[in-house]
Amino acid sequence: MPELQRLRADHAPALRAFERENRTFFAASVPDRGDDYFIHFEARHAALLAEQSTGLGHFHLLVDADGAILGRFNLVDVANGSAELGYRVAEKATGRGLATTTVRRLCTLAAEEYGLTTLRAATTLDNPASRTVLARAGFVPTGEELLLNMRRIIRYERMIPGELTGA
């Protein structure tokens, strides 16, 4: 059973491998991080850990029994009891309900460990898998649509704690 772990310094090699192995897959649904992300990976990883230590962000990895990363699940822009949820799951791990299960778990952590009451998320309109994950985890569309890198996105919100909907 995969384990949700808080981001640590020793995750860096596996996280870089995860991002490289799935780069093309991710670019089909979200803007590519670009080559600069990989060139400065160590500094970016250190910055995330520093941000996490301040409580302004909470970064998590879904890790299998062999230590391979199956997904990353982040709460960013933490302020006034709310945060923005972002996540990405490895191509090899899609279609198994891992994203839905992990987003639900993160909602519980957000309330119980981080004292959050509201989570926001966004996904592109042409990403039905992500929209399904958010709906099943109790997020509702806000009706707000934006343009990001020439792609339409829709915003979602979830009050926590709250009842989870869907299967």
Provide CB contacts within 8 A for 51, sequence distance 6+.
57
User: How does 99-129 read in b/e, with b if 16+ C-beta sit within 10 Å?
Assistant: bbbbbbebbebbbeeeebeebbbbbbeebee
Spans of all domains in the chain: 3-159
Largest CA distance in the chain: 42
Main-chain dihedrals φ then ψ at residue 9, nearest 5 degrees: -60, -40
For residue 52, pLDDT beyond 70:
yes
pLDDT in tens, 109-119: 999 999 999 99
pTM: 0.88
pLDDT tier for residue 150 given thresholds of 50, 70 and 90: confident
| Bridge partners for 155 per DSSP | 122
Identify whether the C-beta of residue 7 lies closer than 8 Å to the C-beta of residue 60. Answer: yes
3-class state of residue 13 by DSSP: helix
Q: Which CATH superfamily is domain 3-159 in?
A: Gcn5-related N-acetyltransferase (GNAT) (3.40.630.30)
For residue 165, pLDDT beyond 70:
no
- What is the arithmetic mean of pLDDT over 20-32? 83
pLDDT tier for residue 162 given thresholds of 50, 70 and 90: low
- What is the arithmetic mean of pLDDT over 9-23? 93
For residue 79, pLDDT beyond 70:
yes
